[in-house]
Copies of this chain bind each other. A is one copy, B any other.
Amino acid sequence: MVDTLINSLTKAGMRLTSTRVAICNYLAGSQDHPTAAQIYAALKPDYPSLSLATVYNTLDVLVNAGAVNVLGQIGDGNVHFDPDTHPHINLACLKCHEIVDFTSQHTVEMEEIIRKESGYQIVGSRMVHYGICPACQESQNSEPTA
């Protein structure tokens, strides 16, 4: 939802500049787990004046507002973000660096329990299981044992 993201910027007292809105639109439109550099590269053609700093700054605000989750690195040297804050597990492949969502009712219930019982003021979450995806397991087997 773009609305949620844009709302977060407004609530944080920030102006809705075109680049900030563009970043929100990109995040809302993506079913992906992009890095700052990916967002920058995707928007640069349409917003030639965009700087990487603005991407980082905007992401920072969204993360602190809990509108976007930070998943962290997954073997590549880049922090991945998740615009989908619904409780779910992210399966990350250490080889091809793909991330796919894995939903389970457990996650939803656990989220509730944590927010109720932990005493923490929860901002966001980072639910990642990392390993080797089915496709990369295949290529592992077919490749020579070097």
Contact = CB atoms under 8 A, between A and B. Distances in A.
Interface of A: 71-73, 89, 91, 93-94, 102, 104, 106-107, 109-110, 113-114, 118-134, 137
B131 A121 contact: yes
Contact of A118 (B73, B91, B107, B124): B91
A62 to B, nearest CB: 14
A106 B110 contact: yes
17 contacts: A71-B72, A72-B72, A72-B126, A91-B120, A104-B114, A106-B107, A106-B110, A106-B113, A114-B129, A119-B134, A120-B131, A123-B130, A124-B129, A124-B131, A126-B126, A126-B129, A127-B127
A106 B110 CA distance: 6
